[in-house]
Structure 1
Amino acid sequence: MAKDNFTDLEQLLAEFEASDLTELHVRHGELEIFLSKDENAVGLGGGAVQVATAKAPVKTGKTASPPASAPTAAAPAADIPEGAVVVRAPYLGTFYRAPKPGAPHYVEIGQPVSDETEMCLVEVMKLFTAVRAGCSGTVAAILAEDGAMVAADQPLFAVMPG
């Protein structure tokens, strides 16, 4: 494994360990990783090798099927206005409200957006994905903290259509 790839993997492990997530499944090319903080979790392939750290067991292996439960975190229902369209994270990664440090945020509460408006970036292992509004309306709520680890399908924004 190249030094940069190993550093990326170490960063992913550190971010997982610091997060509230209990399981993580990542597939990138031929590399596939399943991490779990549950000692009894079944790893990839059902009989995977277990490598434990002081805080979280890490299980590795290869399989074509995802784990039984994928990590998801939901925003409190009180934070999502009734009738709002929820913009969700495309996958697990780090949530960024701006294109680079010190730059203005993509969107703010009260700002009008169209379906193609970039609202944030989600990054994992140096792969940045722009998340678009997907509808026209007004930003009603920002549901994740800048720089925080977000789960796949986690609510990021609430947009009131209109």
Structure 2
Amino acid sequence: MEIKDIQKLLDFIAHSSLDEVNIETGEFKVSVKRNAVTTVVAAAPAPVAVAPVAAAPAPVVATPAPAAAAPAKADESKYLTIKSPMIGTFYRSGGPDKPSFVEVGDEVATGKVVCIVEAMKLFNEIESEVSGRIVKVLVENATPVEYDQPLFLVEPA
């Protein structure tokens, strides 16, 4: 099984309602559990490794917010969000010595690269699906992101 096949499998699982998937052939065994702490990948002759997987955060119980916080939330409703299409590590630029793809105030068009998400040593350029002006960057550079996590707020053009 190649890395792109594993990525397709993980994308499928992320988009499905499955909580657990086990695949076993003569060459390998893959077991993936949603909200699990570890994923075990083993070759047929001997176990290879146990790799830690970031567990999904526990549900947060919302408490009533003060009345002053309500108008701020209403202001954000007019903005569009650019979300992460995968689980991985968020990077604002193509390298440590390179400038960020976008900054607050920059205009973006559909198809413009706004960041990179690294997943399994693959660097995936994330393109904007909306046109407008970047209002806020919601994620710190070099931090983990989840599937469908908001990355940027965009004021529509």
- Report if TM-score (shorter chain) is over 0.5: yes
Judging changes above 3 Å, is the alpha-carbon distance between structure 1 residues 71 and 91 closer, same or farther for their aligned structure 2 residues? Answer: farther
Instruction: Kindly indicate whether residue 43 of structure 2 is the aligned counterpart of residue 44 of structure 1.
Output: no
| 8 Å contact from structure 1 (residues 91, 152) kept in 2 | yes
Secondary structure of 1:44's counterpart equals: strand
Q: Tell me: higher relative CO, structure 1 or 2? Use CA pairs within 8 A at least 6 residues apart.
A: 1
Q: How high is the TM-score relative to the length of structure 1?
A: 0.56
Aligned-residue sequence identity (percent) comes to 32
Q: How high is the TM-score relative to the length of structure 2?
A: 0.58
Alpha carbon RMSD of aligned pairs, Å?
3.7
- Inter-partner Cα distance in structure 2 for 1:118 and 1:49: 33
The match for 2:111 among 108, 116, 124 is: 116
Judging changes above 3 Å, is the alpha-carbon distance between structure 1 residues 79 and 103 closer, same or farther for their aligned structure 2 residues? Answer: farther
* Divergent runs of 4+, >2 A: 30-33, 42-45, 56-61, 70-73, 77-80
CA deviation vs aligned residue, 1:18-70 (integer Å, no higher than 9, x gap): xxxxxxxxx8425867xxxxxxxx6424xx999xxxxx444569xxxxxxxx9
Instruction: Kindly indicate whether residue 146 of structure 2 is the aligned counterpart of residue 151 of structure 1.
Output: yes
Gaps of 5+ in 1: 6-26, 34-41, 51-55, 62-69
Judging changes above 3 Å, is the alpha-carbon distance between structure 1 residues 104 and 84 closer, same or farther for their aligned structure 2 residues? Answer: same
1:1-150 to structure 2, matched below 5 A, reads: 28-29=4-5, 43-45=20-22, 56-58=37-39, 71=56, 78=73, 81-150=76-145
Gaps of 5+ in 2: 11-18, 23-28, 32-36, 43-54, 59-71
Measure how far apart 1:110 and its partner are: 1.0
Query: Highest Rg: 1 or 2?
Result: 2
- Inter-partner Cα distance in structure 2 for 1:112 and 1:104: 16
